[in-house]
Structure 1
Amino acid sequence: MNIDHTQIVKRVIELSGGKQKLNDEMDQNLARINDKWDQDVGAIGRILRAHLFVEYFVTECLVAFNPALGDLEKARLTFSQKLALIEDYSPEIQELAVGIRRLNKIRNQLAHNLEAKVTDKDKESLLSVKTFRALREALAKPDTPSDSSMDVLEDFAKHVGSRLESLADPDSLANRFQQALREYEKRT
């Protein structure tokens, strides 16, 4: 079958109400497409980097806590499934999980809406992880840490990476955090 593309295009123009109407419609479509394409690639990169970073350390903990687990690649676990498998390991991971789930929600919104946003609500959810907030503020003194939602997201990801790496290593900073927590609980 030999298609005459010139005839097809001519008929499409007729069905569209003429050249001008077709051009207007195509311009509107292109504007909608460009709205989705023209995103803040810096923000997208920051969100994806934070998510991938945290997932790396969630996976490291999963392997460390379960040395006979088998091939995780073959298991094809989702981020949420991996988190669920390590969450009950310690109260610290349970606390971190609140913010980790929020980070995953932010990444999922990006994937489904193509909008790279970290809202004030997202920021407050991440800052609701009390140990993260307290450490962030203490380390910034005498200054105050950045109030930028994106900066909070990145700081949270780094905090989670650091904490999970420590928890996966028995001779690490995690032991000092756990000791400090036990000593604090004994005093109160």
Structure 2
Amino acid sequence: MNIDHEYVAKRVIELSGGKDKLNEEMDSKLARINEKWNQDVDAIGRILRAHLFVEHFVTECLVSFNPALGNIKEARLTFAQKISLIEDYSDETKELSTGIKRLNKIRNQLAHNLSGNVTDQDKESLLSVTSFKALREALAKPGVPSSNNLDVLEDFAKHVGGRLESLADPDSLAKRYEQVFNEQAAKT
């Protein structure tokens, strides 16, 4: 079958209401496409990196807490499923899980609307993890840590990675946190 492409082009222009109407329609569609394409790739990359980084350490903990688990990759667990499997492991994982779930929500919003955005509400949710907020502020003294939403997100991801890595290796930072939590619990 031979198609007369010149005829097709002329007929499409005619059915569209003329060249001007077709150009307007195509420009409008292109503007909508470009709006979705022209996102803040730096923000998107920072959010995705933070999420993937935390997921790596969540998986590491899951395997460490359950050595007979088998091949975790074959299980194809979602991020949310992994969180639910580790969150009740200890007071530490329970405390971190609130912020980790928020990080997952931020990443999911990115997947659905293609916009790399960390809101003030997201930032406050991450800072509600009191051990993160307290350590972040103490480490920044005599200055103050950045209040930039993406910086807080990345700081939180690094904090979680460090804490979960420590839990997977019980001879490190996790033991010190556990000791301090136990000391605090004994005082109350």
Residue type of the alignment partner of 1:151: D
Q: Alpha-carbon deviations, 1:51-79, whole Å to 9, x = none?
A: 00000000000000011111111111110
Equivalent residues in 2 for 1:93-132, closer than 5 Å: 93-132=93-132
SS of residue paired to 2:88: helix
Could you give the per-residue CA deviations for residues 52-109 of structure 1, whole angstroms, max 9, x where no partner exists? Answer: 0000000000000011111111111110011111111001111111100100010011
Amino acid of the structure 1 residue aligned with 2:76: R
Correspondence for 1:19: 19
CA distance in 1, matches of 2:135, 2:98: 17
State the percentage of identical aligned residues: 73
TM-score for both structures, normalised by structure 2? 0.98
**What is the distance in 2 between the residues matched to 1:2 and 1:162?**
65
Distance 2:131 2:109 in 1: 26
Superposed counterparts of 1:30-179, under 5 Å: 30-179=30-179
The residue type equivalent to 2:51 in the other structure is H
In structure 1, the residue corresponding to 2:121 is in which secondary structure?
Answer: helix
Deviation at 1:2, TM superposition (A): 2.0
1:131-158 deviation digits (Å, cap 9, x = unpaired): 0000000110111100000000000000
Q: How many Å separate the matches in 2 of 1:36 and 1:134? A: 38
- Give me the TM-score of the superposition, normalised by structure 1: 0.98
Distance, in Å, in 1 between the alignment partners of 2:146 and 2:170 is 32
Report the count of equivalent residues: 188
Which residue of structure 1 aligns with residue 185 of structure 2?
185
Supply the AA of the counterpart residue of 1:178: E
Q: Which 4+ stretches in 1 moved above 6 angstroms? A: none
Give the Cα separation in 2 of the matches to 1:105 and 1:173.
27
Q: List alignment gaps of at least 5 residues for structure 1.
A: none
- What is the alpha-carbon root mean square deviation over aligned residues? 0.7
Measure, in 2, the Cα distance between the counterparts of 1:35 and 1:47. Answer: 19
**What is the CA-CA distance between 1:171 and the residue it aligns to?**
0.7
